[in-house]
Structure 1
């Protein structure tokens, strides 16, 4: 029994309950947000230490042995994702102190934030496929409520697209779970992996693999059903955008990695060929959408789509180096993308707009903000020696070694177009002269020093993480390599969950 496995889920649930208890005391809610997310980060680091020392950790809920009870499982991949959840949650909580209005707090911003973090951590740690569906729905409810805070027209339009496509994904997911249970008679993922290899109906297994691929592909914003993301992620308060950009689509990517390295491993060629070209189209469609945009957060939203393609490419190639690259890319991208959204919020606070044509001159007035933008922007584009360079290099090298030249060429082209998009933002927001003031527009109140420091602090922290990964990447590389080894050897996961139990196929 390893109780520390449950802490990353328990802490945000407790923090959310305490926030509800102090519903009218906004100062207390803010304190709980910082302490709760900080505790999540600390316990996730403790969990990594435990996994590194003892191997894969399992907690059987209610002392019901697998496969009869619900298992929580922490291998290296899940633990890395939980740590990233803690980092982004803590950063967004600090940022929210300066940017969240009293009106949004009054409608439950902080309890919803904790509920979302609990759903994300639960999805990463569950070893039960139906519980994975449950945690997806927890995330959907919390994210939809956060998305419509403020009830502006653009928010409602984006929320309708967001919830419609995600509900479609949930229906496909739940249908696939039901069919899978009918086929193997269990919901425990380790037990499913054991039993599925003994199923003779390979056609049904292929159908289920495609159904899960479509369901998780929608949630990951992969081609062709990705349009809900750029239609919605630029509409909520910027702290919410950063939280979504960093974590939500990565849960879909995590589920793809988990399912296709643990359960559907018997004949990866068929499904992985679909994933390969899906990854290429996701990269290309996302980056082309970004090049056509002139609104800060919409550019960043389309780039979430394009970067998801690199992660899926790592899984699709299905070699040790490629899976390593996929894990490394997820780690790098979560930090970089959340940081870029936080920076866009500072720009909006200083200039009152996200439209590039209405911005300019910030390099002269706020040079440190310009430097802080360049670090994640150039990392996203894959410039050395930042984290994005090594992430792209590993994935592209894996593509060349696997002789997947077409999709590798797409990955290189997308990197160049990503650099173009980041240069466009730099030129419009920071380098060009500020536009002429609009006489009809009310003068924007300058933010106070305390407010700016609260916004800058998480941005600086995330930028330092990016620099650390780029300049001292060996320990991160080794961690991603060990994680990839565990993913490619599912017997270790199965043995940790099932122990000495032997199950007969139905």
Structure 2
């Protein structure tokens, strides 16, 4: 068994188990969170190095050959997502040291954090459709428990909407998996791809493609069933919001990329047309929703929806440049959106509110925080030379080259409206005078503030690095897109050159 493939999955599971064993030792739980997420980041980086050097790595669990056993598959896309998961895990764990009180910790915050990360990593590395469903359910259980920590009314209302739509998605996913197994007698992704390629023209394939599109579209918060996200992501503790904003919807986007490049690469053209206009409507509805909000985290939540549209646009266009742009956009957005939610938490800690009308004056009191906000905010809007500029530029250029002028125009308009929302936050939170003359902001200990600032600075530096030195990420995204658009490489890696399975 290749330890490089299994370690990123075992580390969060082990860290979560140790956190449960340390239930009455809160200090140990807190530092286990940092150690566990740091270990995940290191293990993911090692795996990425191995995959870059040696190609796709496969582990057959229990030494059962594919397709009879469970396969763990590490290609460039899955491995890159594991690395970003580790990075976001470290940032949220450090932020949680300063913001997670004993009340939330007593209800299992840190074990749930590790369980959620294990579910995310498992979804990125599994090579089996039923196990993908299992890891989605692990994520759903852990995220629902994190969402209701504290038990406030707003949290419970948001959690009900969140879990209802995601359970609907899971039911559609499970039914599609059952139908697929009834057709083919296998759920190994590589074997399914190989067998479906021999059945082109079967109308059932079109039905299954649409079912998977709907199931993963709900989890990705795509139009029209996205309303669960802005109804819930602003309600839990801010560290939880940041973790959700960075990772959860991206697992749905990842699943769409995996399904429609590996299993349904030759699906009828109308499926990609649906994705194309779904992407445009997702962008537009999300950004218009954000423009109507006056609560920091609700604005950011609607912008998660709008930015998902750019990622789906890359998949829908289905050209090498478009897929490259979609993957680049995913990485950029995970870093930027997590950082913006963490900054909203610092603002709340300093001023005691998320409502824009209750905020103001922070540019004069905390100029460094204002600058740190501008880095991810302007990157989200696509301003050069930050990471968002290159992400948007690649996707929009791909749209123009493919002749998709209507959706490309929507993408440009959404970029301008995103800038409007970020300027609105800047003006209300940082630039205008404090609404209460002579108000006394809540006291914040210096050590606590530095703990909150450390991950924000780190993620801002990542955004600057990707913007000023985009070559490494561009190269990774390009190589990942090449692998995705050549599904035979994945199939041969899992099943062997003769398609019979590797022990």
Using the size of structure 1 for normalisation, the TM-score is 0.98
Aligned position for 1:396: 396
Report the Cα distance in structure 1 between the residues aligned to 2:119 and 2:438, rounded to whole angstroms: 44
User: Residues of 2 paired with 1:329 and 1:425: CA distance?
Assistant: 23
Residues 238 and 329 of structure 1: CA distance in aligned 2, closer, same or farther (over 3 Å): same
- How far is 1:503 from its partner? 5.4
Q: Which residue of 2 aligns with 1:480?
A: 477
Residue 448 of structure 1 corresponds to 445
Structure 1 position 108, deviation (Å): 0.1
Q: 3-state DSSP class of the match of 1:331?
A: helix
Distance in 1, Cα, partners of 2:195 & 2:426: 54
Give the corresponding residue for 2:247.
247
**How much has 1:500 moved relative to structure 2?**
3.1
Alignment map for 1:266-305 (pairs within 5 Å): 266-305=266-305
SS at match of 1:500: coil
Shift of 1:44: 0.4
Determine the structure 2 residue equivalent to 1:343: 343
Aligned residues: 501
Say whether the 8 Å CA contact 2:149–2:236 is kept in structure 1: yes
1:75-94 equivalence runs, <5 A: 75-94=75-94
If the length of structure 2 is used for normalisation, what is the TM-score? 0.98
Deviation at 1:199, TM superposition (A): 1.9
Give the Cα separation in 1 of the matches to 2:64 and 2:500.
16
Partner of 2:74: 74
Rounded to whole Å, the distance in 1 between the matches of 2:213 and 2:437 is 50
Q: Distance in 2 between matches of 1:502 and 1:97?
A: 49
Contact 2:209 2:267 in 1 (8 A): no
The residue number in structure 2 matching 1:422 is 422
Instruction: Give the CA deviation at 1:83.
Output: 0.5
What is the alpha-carbon distance in structure 2 between the residues aligned to residue 266 and residue 221 of structure 1? 25
The separation in 2 between residues aligned to 1:84 and 1:379, in whole angstroms, is 18
8 A contact 2:234–2:297 mirrored in 1: yes
- Deviation per CA, 1:147-177: give whole Å up to 9, x if none: 0000000000000000000000000000000
Q: Map of 1:258-273 to 2, 5 A cutoff? A: 258-273=258-273
Aligned-residue offset at 1:202:
2.0
* 1:142 counterpart = 2:142: yes
- Taking the aligned partners of 1:183 and 1:420, their CA distance within structure 2 comes to 50
Following superposition, the deviation at residue 270 of structure 1 comes to 1.9
Residues 182-212 of structure 1 show CA distances to partners (whole Å, capped at 9, x for unaligned) of 1111010000000001125521000000000
CA distance in 2, matches of 1:503, 1:240: 44
Q: Distance in 2 between matches of 1:137 and 1:386?
A: 35
Could you say what the CA RMSD is over the residues aligned between the two structures, in angstroms? 1.2
CA-to-aligned-CA distance 1:21-54 (integer Å, 9 cap, x gap): 0001000000100000000000100001100110
**Distance in 1 between the 2:107 and 2:437 partners?**
35
Q: Secondary structure at the match of 1:434?
A: coil
Distance 1:438 1:285 in 2: 39
Q: Distance in 2 between matches of 1:280 and 1:34?
A: 39
Partner-residue secondary structure (3-state), 2:208:
helix
Compared with structure 1, are the counterparts of its residues 200 and 272 closer, same or farther at alpha carbon in structure 2 (3 Å cutoff)?
closer
Q: After superposition, where does 1:2-401 map in structure 2 within 5 Å?
A: 2-199=2-199, 202-401=202-401
**Offset from partner CA, 1:33-78 (integer Å, 9 cap, x none):** 0000000000100001100110000011000110000000000000
> Which residue matches 1:465?
462
SS of 1:6's equivalent? helix
SS of residue paired to 1:199: coil
Question: Following TM superposition, by how much is the alpha carbon of 1:266 offset from its aligned partner in structure 2, in angstroms?
Answer: 1.8
The offset of 1:18, in angstroms, is 0.1
- Alpha-carbon deviations, 1:308-334, whole Å to 9, x = none? 000000000000000000000001000
C-alpha separation between the residues in 2 aligned to 1:387 and 1:343? 18
Deviations 1:421-451 (A, max 9, x none): 0000000000000011699xxx653110000
Preserved CA contact (<8 Å) 2:314 2:324:
yes
Query: Quick one: distance in 1 between partners of 2:438 and 2:204?
Result: 63
Give, in whole Å, the separation in 2 of the partners of 1:268 and 1:35.
47
For 2:15 and 2:436, how far apart are their aligned partners in 1? 46
CA distance in 2, matches of 1:354, 1:266: 47
Q: Distance in 2 between matches of 1:243 and 1:127?
A: 25
Structure-2 separation of matches of 1:5 and 1:419: 40
Who is 1:434 aligned against?
A: 434
Separation in 2, partners of 1:365, 1:126: 48
SS at match of 2:378: helix
How many angstroms apart in 1 are the aligned matches of 2:116 and 2:43?
Answer: 17
Q: Secondary structure at the match of 2:58?
A: strand
Q: Which runs of 5+ in 2 are unaligned?
A: none
Q: Quote how far apart the aligned CAs of 1:267 are.
A: 3.1
Could you tell me which residue of structure 1 aligns to residue 495 of structure 2? Answer: 498
Secondary structure of the residue aligned to 1:58 is strand
In 1, distance between residues paired with 2:39 and 2:174?
A: 33
Q: Distance in 1 between matches of 2:437 and 2:427?
A: 19
Over 3 Å counting, the alpha-carbon distance change for 1:114 and 1:310 in structure 2 is same
Any idea what the Cα deviations from partners look like across 1:194-242, whole Å, max 9, x if unmatched?
0001125521000000000000000000000000000000000000000
